[in-house]
Chain A
Amino acid sequence: MSGGPDGLPPDGTVVGPPFPREEIILLTSDLTVRSGPREILSGVSLAFPRQKVSAIIGPSGCGKTTLVRCLNRMAELAGLTISGEVRYRGRDIYDPQVNPVQVRRRIGMVFQRPTVFPSSIYENVAFGLRLERESREVVDRGVVRSLKRAGLWEEVREDLDRPALALSGGQQQRLCIARALAVEPGVLLMDEPTSSLDPIATQKVEDMIYELKKEYTVIIVTHNMQQAARVADYTAFLYQGHLVEFEETRQFFESPRAKLTENYITGRFG
């Protein structure tokens, strides 16, 4: 790669693997995010293909969490200033006519730590459907379907009315994924979903992500390169707010194009 400072591509360049334009479900274009005078993301342009798992990796503080939070308009809740475009199926989600609440229903999110509500397992999964005032049958069906997809159904089918807080950490995180899936989002964003889980629970979540891409587009932030290599079809590398490389995962890890990427994945920094 050539162009920008430190071997970074010039801001605004769309960096991405060659996949057909019609495969693009979510696209950022010259996305720049500031917190006061500090620039957190600098002109990130990136296209995510549908029904694939895309991973975003990079050292702590590189802006990867901010990037996913821009994709469903969560970033602005923290008072960040966002410029540039994010397009979901061609529509700019930062268009003033677009309601951020609608955006977040279409583009779901799972957080670093499980964030179950202090209600029953059933009510947790039903949350999004209740917001849309769905009928009892729709909610019932949605809860069962989502729990199955999140690989939690067999473990909790007898205990739907038990408090969700009684579940283990790994179960809670899969419950949060079920909650996000219940409203049938077009894209599921995951911000380091396994960072607070033990290896066995992590394995279960990763297996589930693998299943999910048959129906969903998943964008996962991870600090763990092995995880990206295991679950992602495509991997992006962010460094100091700049997008360095976005590549098909095997290509990314076996023959990265940027020197910076190579240094990172070979453990020379980060």
Chain B
Amino acid sequence: MTAAAGAGDLSVDIELGLVPDRRVHRRVAWDRWLGRLLPLAFVAVLFPIIDLLYWIGSEALPTLSWTTLTTNPVGFGGGLYAPLTGTVYLVGIATAIAGTLGIVAGAYTAEFASPRAALIGRLLANLLTGTPAIVVGYFGYFALVLYTHSTFTLWAGAITLSIFMLPYVYRVTDAAFGSVPPSQREASLGAGSTRGQYLRRVALPIAFPQVLSGLFLAMAIGAGETAPLLFTAGWSITPAQGLSSPTSYLSGFIWNYFDQPSNLGHLVILSFQAAFLLIVGVLVLNVAVQLVAERYRRRLRGFFA
């Protein structure tokens, strides 16, 4: 290039590739269109969620008060104390069962199981995840209600719910332990740890945020389920009189009362409020997952490079 080629000399610009040719022009134009279309897709995803929240909120919030949470359903009105506590008990017990079993089994699958056993475990867990909740509920009905000559009980409901939640906890735990870099395992075993010590002292702290988010996810899914509970926990309008009696629960309240004629008190409004409480619960669990994950991300910074 010569010094004579001054600024603005088009032939030089073309030589340097600074002037976009037709093909580049087309790509830039396409890019601009995509830039307008993608936000639309984003809104299309968000719209139903926001609309749902708005709809439930506008029905539930105007009459939601502290007494709604502390009083039992009475006649065509009252509050949601019984279903709220029922859901807390059911999900609490189910989480304890599914959490313990799922985490232990997941850790076993990732570390100890033979490749074939691990494959079978994962396959069965996938199958169970895909099993309709109503089928799990029916199984619970046969195994825990009919077979034991019992009635609908909180126990039966919690156990059935835990079966439904189990594969989520199991799969996430398995994946979480499986994603620990193999070099960590070598370093731990090479330093003379047993495999159990490796799992607890090295792998668990690394896998923990993922395991915990799987557990919270399972809780959120379990809290909203109705089908596993209908034939097992039965239904009650009052708080459960212990583990061996039928119980009330939020999803059951919606199931039972959302379609009542609206001139009958405010059962429909209470159903909306039950739905609202479930959504708030799921939101709280999700925020908790994010907070925990963030804390651990900070600790593990630079680890999963």
Closest to A179 in B: B191
Q: Distance in Å from the Cβ of A168 to the closest Cβ of chain B?
A: 11
Contact of B187 with A104 in the complex, beta carbons under 8 Å: no
Contact of B205 with A104 in the complex, beta carbons under 8 Å: no
Closest to B183 in A: A115
Stretch of A42-50, A126-134, A233-241, A243-251 at the chain-chain interface? A126-134
Contact of A111 with B201 in the complex, beta carbons under 8 Å: no
Contact of B186 with A77 in the complex, beta carbons under 8 Å: yes
Give the contacting residue for B184; candidates A104, A115, A163, A183; CB below 8 A: A115
Which of B187, B189, B192, B194 is the most central at the interface, judged by chain A CB atoms within 10 Å of its CB? Answer: B192
Stretch of B33-41, B83-91, B294-302 at the chain-chain interface? B294-302
Q: Which residues of A contact B301 (CB under 8 A)?
A: 163, 165
Give the contacting residue for A176; candidates B187, B197, B300; CB below 8 A: B187
Give the contacting residue for A74; candidates B189, B193, B302; CB below 8 A: B189
Q: Which residues of A contact B188 (CB under 8 A)?
A: 117, 127
Contact of B190 with A109 in the complex, beta carbons under 8 Å: yes
Q: Which residues of A contact B183 (CB under 8 A)?
A: 111, 113, 115
**CA–CA, A130 to B190, complex, Å?**
15
**CA–CA, A111 to B184, complex, Å?**
11
Q: Which residues of A contact B184 (CB under 8 A)?
A: 115, 117
**CA–CA, A72 to B190, complex, Å?**
8
Given the interface pairs A165-B301, A165-B302, the reply to whether A118 lies near B205 with Cβ below 8 Å is yes
**CA–CA, A180 to B191, complex, Å?**
6
User: Per-residue 0/1 for A186-216: is the Cβ within 8 Å of any B Cβ (1 yes, 0 no)?
Assistant: 0000000000000000000000000000000
Contact of B187 with A111 in the complex, beta carbons under 8 Å: yes
Q: Which residues of A contact B190 (CB under 8 A)?
A: 72, 74, 104, 108-109, 111, 180
Which of A102, A111, A115, A119 is the most central at the interface, judged by chain B CB atoms within 10 Å of its CB? Answer: A115
Given the interface pairs A130-B201, A165-B301, A165-B302, the reply to whether A118 lies near B206 with Cβ below 8 Å is yes
Contact of A101 with B193 in the complex, beta carbons under 8 Å: yes
In this assembly, does A105 line the interface, its C-beta being within 8 Å of a C-beta of chain B?
yes
User: Per-residue 0/1 for B172-188: is the Cβ within 8 Å of any A Cβ (1 yes, 0 no)?
Assistant: 00000000000110111
Contact of A118 with B193 in the complex, beta carbons under 8 Å: no
Contact of B192 with A102 in the complex, beta carbons under 8 Å: yes
Give the contacting residue for B197; candidates A109, A113, A131; CB below 8 A: A131
Contact of A127 with B194 in the complex, beta carbons under 8 Å: no
Q: Distance in Å from the Cβ of B84 to the closest Cβ of chain A?
A: 39
Contact of A117 with B202 in the complex, beta carbons under 8 Å: yes
Q: Distance in Å from the Cβ of B208 to the closest Cβ of chain A?
A: 11
Q: Which residues of B contact A179 (CB under 8 A)?
A: 191
**CA–CA, A106 to B183, complex, Å?**
20
Q: Which residues 199-240 of B sit at the A interface, judged by CB distance below 8 A?
A: 201-202, 205-206
**CA–CA, A90 to B299, complex, Å?**
45
Given the interface pairs A115-B183, A115-B187, A118-B303, the reply to whether A101 lies near B206 with Cβ below 8 Å is no
Contact of A183 with B191 in the complex, beta carbons under 8 Å: yes
Closest to B195 in A: A101
**CA–CA, A74 to B191, complex, Å?**
10
Q: Which residues of B contact A166 (CB under 8 A)?
A: 302
Q: Which residues 33-70 of A sit at the B interface, judged by CB distance below 8 A?
A: none
**CA–CA, A130 to B191, complex, Å?**
11
**CA–CA, A113 to B302, complex, Å?**
14
Q: Distance in Å from the Cβ of A162 to the closest Cβ of chain B?
A: 12
Q: Can you identify 10 A-B contacts, CB atoms within 8 angstroms?
A: A74-B189, A101-B189, A105-B192, A108-B190, A109-B191, A111-B187, A118-B205, A128-B192, A131-B193, A183-B192
Give B contacts to A, CB under 8 Å. 183-184, 186-194, 197, 201-202, 205-206, 299-303
Excluding A118-B299, A127-B201, A131-B193, 6 further A-B contacts by CB distance (< 8 Å) are A77-B186, A108-B190, A127-B191, A131-B191, A163-B299, A165-B301
The 6 A-B residue pairs with the shortest CB-CB distance, nearest first, are: A105-B192, A115-B187, A109-B190, A104-B192, A115-B183, A165-B302
